[in-house]
Chain A
């Protein structure tokens, strides 16, 4: 019977029952859903990976592996499969540009691929393509291996074209990351599986090992197992690699030795053959040479004889001519001799005549000479007489001149006295006249003297002239004499000459006559000799002609021999060339092999477990995020569910007070009565628990999986059922419903039946604290006072409401805050901090200055660039050693075009000086380093840098320490070598093209575009959006259920009151306001609490979400505050809106009913 009333009770108060059921469902659903999300996802992926036999260990050796190694390792204990695999990066021709694919050999047992469509490759030239690849290539298309692959790559593949026969997913590539490569544009576009036969390689690039276990991925058991195995296998692998090394070395050496021996042998054989041939040829050559010499000699002899013959002929001819000349001359000489005899006789006569003439001339000459000498002596005497007369004359002339002078003087004196003569006494005048007369006398005497002299002179001159004529005559006579004398001398000489000539001629004649006679004799001899010579010549000529014939024959034979020889020689040269080439090739091959062997180093091996697989690692950390979030949220829901149960049940027990009393009066036991309520709440809790568990377990993982599916291979979820969790949830929900029921019932049941039968005194109105502050209280409107009093009247409800609403707001804020913190950090990182377009990684050995070619390329392709040094150092703190990136920009100026250094608050930081450093926020936050601290960095060579931290700059990706180059120079003794370049491309440039161009540069090993990084990070974090959505939805659910439940209770409890005020004529709005104003006030209070709570919760949750290498910017944007508040209010409004209908439906007749 009781059961029937209970069921009816449930039916009657379905809303309340359902509210309780749903809050428990929500609590359990959220709790179990969020809890189970990670296990569900892990389970799903685990099943996939187990099915696809994801490898446990990946063994890599720098030397590669062979089948023997694989076989050896396969025999190890616990190995289920071991499989060698090829993999390489290849460039493929795309529609516009080349793209890089990671080519793998088709797996047999490990890392199986899952075919999405098409079929497995069957032939060597067929392949499976990455189904996830963004490409137009599809089944039936041909994948072309690009020509621009390097030779090694091209050689490693059999064929350049592969037909795509299927699209596949691979366990090895669980997420969409395909990794990076050093070729092409640096990023791998997808994978391609080729049949093993398509690889022309003699060694595997890696061995995958699958142990004989199926432990859950990420489980501790598996981690321990792997760790243990890794330790063992590291040794094992190294040993195996060394075995291979030894084998390779030995094989290669043996092979090399064999090769060399063979080469030597072949070389010897070939050489011998060649030598024989050469010898034969040489013999032939010698023979030919002899022949040639013989011929030449013969020819020469012939030529000599011909010459000789010609000479003798000439000589003979000359001789003949000479002989005839001699005869002519001889005849001529005979005549001359005759002539000469005549001439000589004539000359003798002439000479005799001349002698006679000469003697007469001599006598003549002697006579004239005597005459001449007499004349000359007479002349000389005359001259002397004349000269004496002349001198005498001159003396007279001189005395005369003196007389004249004296006379002249007396004349002058007289002349002077003359004018005065009249005046003079007559004496004197007579004297004077006497004097004058004397004078005139004197003059006359003088003049006579003078005339005498002149006459003297004349005769003298005449005598002189006669003398001179005589002298002339004499001179002429002398001259004639001289001439005659000369002519005589000449004639004498001539005569002497003629005589000599005569005598000479005579001698010559005599000689000539003798010569003639001798010549005549000689001539006769010559003629005889000539005739003999002629005879000889004729003989020689005959002999010569014969020789010529012989030579011509010999020559012909020789030509033939030479031809044969030349042919033989050509054959020989060809053979030799061929031989040499072959030998050179073989030697080069051997040298290569030797060089290779020399280069062959002891192999390094790596034992890589699953955590090095990017899909595995990403999935682990991604799934952990949910798990970490899962730890926090459910607490709220459980708490709220408990509160809701408590309120509901106490209300119900209160309502059923009379009935309890009646039942008690009828004699039902307390337990039976309590059982009714227990059943009510317990069934609601159980049903809610089952519902929540079922829905939560499916819904939460599904929603979150939906978001993960964007990042990973799409797999149908395999739901897990966790008994323990189910029991825990059921236990918790039962505890919270039954416990509260029990608590509520205890109080009522303690009363007597009679007391219970009486209506319970309505809960007395109470004054609230505020009323004691008239200043405030009196200002309130009447209805506001009512509301305030009502709020504080039901304290339990008050707290529950505030906590529920506060929780809702806090959840919203956390949700939005997670998004703000996570979604924002990539934008902040690449929009406000690392603002460069790309970072270019350079080859390692470029030196202190960038190569000119690279600078030219950079100038050409980029707007601006800045070289820097990026290196990994260990930062030791008290906590532990942490690897950080040390950035050393080449210049502080312009750095902010690439990397902006500012604090979290946005203040710009000055660039550090030598010995100083800036550190990123992540280091500061996680490792407790602050500005002003001293830090020590150590690199792998144990070099140390001591730096003083001058500031902390905002940075979210990687841990950075920034110091100027001077620090490096000062502390390490050498300036830094740039290995990275920050670049900004021109505004209009196609950055992808530009980066590809840059990547193609020599010296550039990699180009990473920050836009791509940002997108990748953004995508990675987008999964969190779903979680945020889920949190928001849960918050909404929480708010609805709490508000609905409480308002519902509120209304039910006050139904008479509400009916009464309706009767009193409150309009609909007034009625709603009267009741729901309290909700609004409570919501406001809840929001206030929630804001504080939200900040704490957000911080806590963010602290749980740890993603490697990334530090989030813990923040809640103002808009998120606004949204949280607005949304909470909106939820409240929605509940109020629906509650308005409920109020409307309250029948006023209720006011007439009694209190039951």
Chain B
């Protein structure tokens, strides 16, 4: 029996010509369903690789990755696509909204390919953008765009929400608001949320904190003193 999310002895080696880069050496961790997990580490520690593997965007060299009882590391390319489509929601550092689509349409873009999507407009209302639905990304502020991105991820009703430096491109307050939104979502919907960040401060708000360093998990612990987002300073 595996945990909801589980990585076992994952190794990832990139080959560039003669050179072998060991991005992940021996990564193992587990995340339970409904947890708000923060994976933290310095640049180049391997957290993005972990995100790629978890998100089904990359394969691993050895070891195994599991989500909800299924071994994603054994998926074929197509299965991985389906996995991304149905099971994972992404929030990118730079929002990655389609510029040519309105906020609502950006959400719909994701929603319309899912099996059991949430109503796009509702999700946008939930993230507080009821008024900006018809606006194009260029007409929205960074925080608003990130909210649209979150709404887009949520609308797919995924099993796992993966967020890559969601505040990286946002100012302090907006970042906080976004984090708050994520935490609230986790709490209110029971969605498993994984946030990847280099910001140690954010770890305080997580249920589970996984520290990555030099391609391996340095430390994984459950947070006994969960701090509210508003109280976190960085």
Separation of A1148 and B85 alpha carbons in the complex (Å): 14
CB contacts (< 8 Å) of A761 on chain B: these are 138
A residues 901-937 in Cβ contact with B at 8 Å: none
Q: Which residue of B lies closest to A1064 (CB)?
A: B110
Q: Which residue of A lies closest to B164 (CB)?
A: A1152
Interface residue stretch chosen among B3-11, B36-44, B89-97: B89-97
Q: Which of A764, A1063, A1151, A1154 contacts B99 (CB 8 A)?
A: A764
Interface residue stretch chosen among B76-84, B211-219, B221-229: B76-84
Known contacts A764-B99, A1149-B52, A1154-B94; A1064/B113 CB under 8 A:
yes
Residue B189 at the A interface, CB < 8 A?
A: no
Residue A1067 at the B interface, CB < 8 A?
A: yes
Known contacts A762-B99, A765-B100; A1065/B113 CB under 8 A:
yes
CB contacts (< 8 Å) of B186 on chain A: these are none
Separation of A989 and B102 alpha carbons in the complex (Å): 80
Separation of A1065 and B157 alpha carbons in the complex (Å): 13
Known contacts A764-B136, A765-B102, A1070-B113; A1063/B93 CB under 8 A:
no
CB contacts (< 8 Å) of A790 on chain B: these are 100
Q: Which of B78, B92, B98, B137 contacts A1067 (CB 8 A)?
A: B78
Residue A51 at the B interface, CB < 8 A?
A: no
Q: Is the CB of A765 within 8 A of B136?
A: yes
CB contacts (< 8 Å) of A789 on chain B: these are 100-101
Residue A779 at the B interface, CB < 8 A?
A: no
Q: Which residue of A lies closest to B162 (CB)?
A: A1063
Residue A1061 at the B interface, CB < 8 A?
A: yes
Q: Is the CB of A1152 within 8 A of B48?
A: yes
Known contacts A786-B105, A1065-B113, A1154-B93; A1057/B81 CB under 8 A:
no
Q: Is the CB of A782 within 8 A of B109?
A: yes
A residues 740-773 in Cβ contact with B at 8 Å: 761-766
Q: Is the CB of A1057 within 8 A of B98?
A: yes
Residue A1155 at the B interface, CB < 8 A?
A: yes
Q: Is the CB of B139 within 8 A of A764?
A: yes
Known contacts A1064-B113, A1067-B78, A1152-B93; A786/B57 CB under 8 A:
no
Q: Which of A793, A1063, A1070, A1149 contacts B90 (CB 8 A)?
A: A1063
Could you tell me the distance in whole angstroms from the C-beta of B80 to the nearest C-beta in chain A?
Answer: 9
Counting contact residues on chain B (CB < 8 A from A), the size range is: 35 or more
Q: Which residue of A lies closest to B114 (CB)?
A: A1065
- Main SS of chain A's interface residues? helix
Q: Is the CB of A1056 within 8 A of B57?
A: no
Considering residues A763, A790, A793, A1148, which has the most beta carbons from chain B within 10 angstroms of its beta carbon?
A1148
Separation of A1059 and B96 alpha carbons in the complex (Å): 9
A residues 1123-1156 in Cβ contact with B at 8 Å: 1148-1149, 1151-1155
Separation of A783 and B98 alpha carbons in the complex (Å): 12
Q: Which of A1060, A1068, A1148 contacts B98 (CB 8 A)?
A: A1060
- Main SS of chain B's interface residues? mixed
CB contacts (< 8 Å) of A1149 on chain B: these are 48, 52, 57-58
Separation of A1068 and B57 alpha carbons in the complex (Å): 14
Separation of A1057 and B100 alpha carbons in the complex (Å): 10
Could you tell me the distance in whole angstroms from the C-beta of A1056 to the nearest C-beta in chain B?
Answer: 6
Residue B174 at the A interface, CB < 8 A?
A: no
Known contacts A764-B136, A789-B100; A1064/B85 CB under 8 A:
yes
CB contacts (< 8 Å) of B55 on chain A: these are 1063
B residues 110-147 in Cβ contact with A at 8 Å: 110, 112-113, 136-139
Separation of A789 and B156 alpha carbons in the complex (Å): 23
Residue A606 at the B interface, CB < 8 A?
A: no
Q: Is the CB of B81 within 8 A of A1066?
A: yes
Q: Which residue of B lies closest to A765 (CB)?
A: B136
Known contacts A1057-B98, A1067-B78, A1154-B169; A762/B164 CB under 8 A:
no
Q: Which of A786, A1063, A1152 contacts B101 (CB 8 A)?
A: A786
Could you tell me the distance in whole angstroms from the C-beta of B208 to the nearest C-beta in chain A?
Answer: 23
Q: Is the CB of B98 within 8 A of A1155?
A: no
Q: Is the CB of A786 within 8 A of B84?
A: no
CB contacts (< 8 Å) of B137 on chain A: these are 762, 765
Q: Which residue of B lies closest to A759 (CB)?
A: B94
Known contacts A782-B108, A1065-B113, A1151-B92; A763/B84 CB under 8 A:
no
Could you tell me the distance in whole angstroms from the C-beta of B141 to the nearest C-beta in chain A?
Answer: 12
Could you tell me the distance in whole angstroms from the C-beta of A260 to the nearest C-beta in chain B?
Answer: 112
Q: Is the CB of B99 within 8 A of A765?
A: yes
Considering residues B52, B86, B94, which has the most beta carbons from chain A within 10 angstroms of its beta carbon?
B94
Q: Is the CB of B92 within 8 A of A1060?
A: yes
Separation of A761 and B97 alpha carbons in the complex (Å): 13
Q: Is the CB of B81 within 8 A of A1065?
A: yes
Considering residues A765, A789, A1061, A1064, which has the most beta carbons from chain B within 10 angstroms of its beta carbon?
A1064
CB contacts (< 8 Å) of A782 on chain B: these are 105, 108-109, 112
Known contacts A764-B138, A1063-B55; A1057/B99 CB under 8 A:
yes
CB contacts (< 8 Å) of A762 on chain B: these are 99, 137-138
Q: Is the CB of A763 within 8 A of B78?
A: no
CB contacts (< 8 Å) of A1059 on chain B: these are 96
Q: Which residue of A lies closest to B78 (CB)?
A: A1067
Q: Which residue of B lies closest to A785 (CB)?
A: B105
Q: Which residue of B lies closest to A1071 (CB)?
A: B81
Q: Is the CB of A1061 within 8 A of B109?
A: yes
Separation of A57 and B40 alpha carbons in the complex (Å): 97
Q: Which residue of A lies closest to B48 (CB)?
A: A1152
CB contacts (< 8 Å) of B93 on chain A: these are 1152, 1154
Q: Which residue of B lies closest to A1153 (CB)?
A: B94
CB contacts (< 8 Å) of B113 on chain A: these are 1064-1066, 1070
CB contacts (< 8 Å) of B112 on chain A: these are 782-783
Separation of A944 and B93 alpha carbons in the complex (Å): 94
Separation of A1066 and B85 alpha carbons in the complex (Å): 7
Known contacts A765-B101, A1154-B169; A1148/B57 CB under 8 A:
yes
Separation of A766 and B137 alpha carbons in the complex (Å): 11
Known contacts A762-B138, A765-B101, A782-B108; A1064/B92 CB under 8 A:
no
Could you tell me the distance in whole angstroms from the C-beta of B138 to the nearest C-beta in chain A?
Answer: 4
Q: Is the CB of A1064 within 8 A of B102?
A: no
Q: Is the CB of A1064 within 8 A of B169?
A: no
CB contacts (< 8 Å) of A764 on chain B: these are 99, 136, 138-139
CB contacts (< 8 Å) of B102 on chain A: these are 765
Q: Is the CB of B100 within 8 A of A1060?
A: no
Q: Is the CB of B100 within 8 A of A1065?
A: no
Q: Is the CB of B109 within 8 A of A786?
A: yes
A residues 259-284 in Cβ contact with B at 8 Å: none
Separation of A1060 and B94 alpha carbons in the complex (Å): 11
Subset of 27 A-B contacts with CB under 8 Å: A761-B138, A763-B99, A763-B138, A764-B99, A782-B112, A786-B109, A789-B101, A1059-B96, A1060-B96, A1061-B98, A1063-B96, A1064-B84, A1064-B85, A1064-B109, A1064-B110, A1064-B113, A1065-B86, A1065-B156, A1066-B81, A1067-B78, A1067-B82, A1068-B81, A1148-B52, A1148-B57, A1149-B48, A1152-B48, A1152-B93
Interfacial residues, chain A to chain B (CB-CB below 8 A) = 761-766, 782-783, 785-786, 789-790, 793, 1056-1057, 1059-1068, 1070, 1148-1149, 1151-1155
Known: A765-B100, A1057-B96. 10 other contacts (CB 8 A): A764-B99, A793-B100, A1057-B98, A1061-B109, A1065-B113, A1066-B85, A1067-B78, A1148-B57, A1148-B58, A1152-B48
The 10 A-B pairs of least Cβ separation, nearest first, read A1065-B85, A765-B136, A1065-B84, A764-B138, A1060-B96, A765-B100, A1148-B57, A762-B99, A1064-B110, A789-B100
Interfacial residues, chain B to chain A (CB-CB below 8 A) = 48, 52, 55, 57-58, 78, 81-86, 88, 90, 92-94, 96, 98-102, 105, 108-110, 112-113, 136-139, 152, 156, 164, 169
